[in-house]
Amino acid sequence: MTFAERFLHLPDLFPARRSGHRWGTTDLCIDFAGGPYVFRGLSDRQASILRDRYQDLGCIDSHAASVVEILVFKADAGDFREPEPIPARPYAMDLDFRPASVRIAAESLMALLLLSPLRAGLWTSVEMPTSEVVAVFENFFRLVVAYRLNQLGGVLLHSAGVVRASRAYLFLGRSGAGKTTISRISRAAGLEVLSDDMNAVLPSVGGAVVEKLPFAGDLGQTGSRAGGGDLAALFRLEKAAAHNLRPLSEPEAVALLVSCSPYLNADPHRTDELLHNARRLLRGCTANVLAFRPDPDFWKLLEDSA
């Protein structure tokens, strides 16, 4: 199956440049790690839904030199194939990686991400209901953020992020490894959970910082500027009958970061950048395998090993 064939009736007509009929005249500026990001050409309905979703992450200067601009265009619903009636199916995308751009196709969505400078065009047939608007915009938004962080020397990590005494701990692993379980236990213990799904890691003097993103998994999350801390340690999760900690070698830790870096780890044109960022971000933090059972005593093990 060729690129976009499962989503579009005529994939050969995929847009070649950022042009088309805008949904409306409303701009929405959203500011968090790597931002500000601005969507231009929204309808009032789309803008209202996204304001509710990202709450206090709005920004005033949507024309700043550093802004990542996303132009929003209207697509005809007839351009898209009907999705297969699979209950609770995961959101899927087709990605076409090129040296200077990425083409994206998904349900009710076409997009073109241009990389130098970073900017994007988004074509969608969705203006309502709220759930569909959020699905289209947020799944694409995650990809934009991943590329933005990579350009800044950081990574978007599929992970659980927890802050303890102003220091950030990241828990990584395949789906079902225990990221949401770790997050629930930590929240119940009074700790700040940044996200149980996606976290931003950016370089800092002498190490790295973890910043909160408005993307979350089962725990749910609203937009917020608060949260984050210096990266103290990261852990590959394994479920076990007893708590145990063992170190990861540097190659194992780099491989772990790369495997948990969505979108970029599938892009053959960005492999060297991603590996460079991963090695740099690991400086100044420890990397271990955490075997754990679902109780808060694992935090004592982490504290004793610090």
Overall domain count for the chain: 2
* Residue 144 shares a structural domain with residue 160: no
Say whether pLDDT at 138 is over 90.
Answer: yes
Question: Residue 291 is encoded by which pair of tokens?
Answer: 């075997």
* Residue 120 shares a structural domain with residue 159: no
* CA count, 13 A, side-chain hemisphere, 12: 0
Q: The whole model's pTM is what?
A: 0.94
State percent of the chain over pLDDT 90.
75
* Residue 81 shares a structural domain with residue 167: no
**Residues 61, 37: Cα–Cα separation, whole Å:** 10
Domain of 205, CATH number, reads 3.40.50
Give the residue-averaged pLDDT of 49-56: 90
Residue 1, in any domain of the structure:
no
Say whether pLDDT at 248 is over 90.
Answer: yes
Residue 83, in any domain of the structure:
yes
Instruction: Outline where DSSP puts E strands in 196-253.
Output: 198-204, 207-211, 228-239, 244-247
Last residue of a domain, one of 121, 151, 181: 151
* Residue 161 shares a structural domain with residue 298: yes
Last residue of a domain, one of 151, 172, 187: 151
Last residue of a domain, one of 102, 135, 151: 151
Tens of pLDDT, residue by residue over 76-85, are 999 999 887 6
Owning domain of residue 283:
155-305
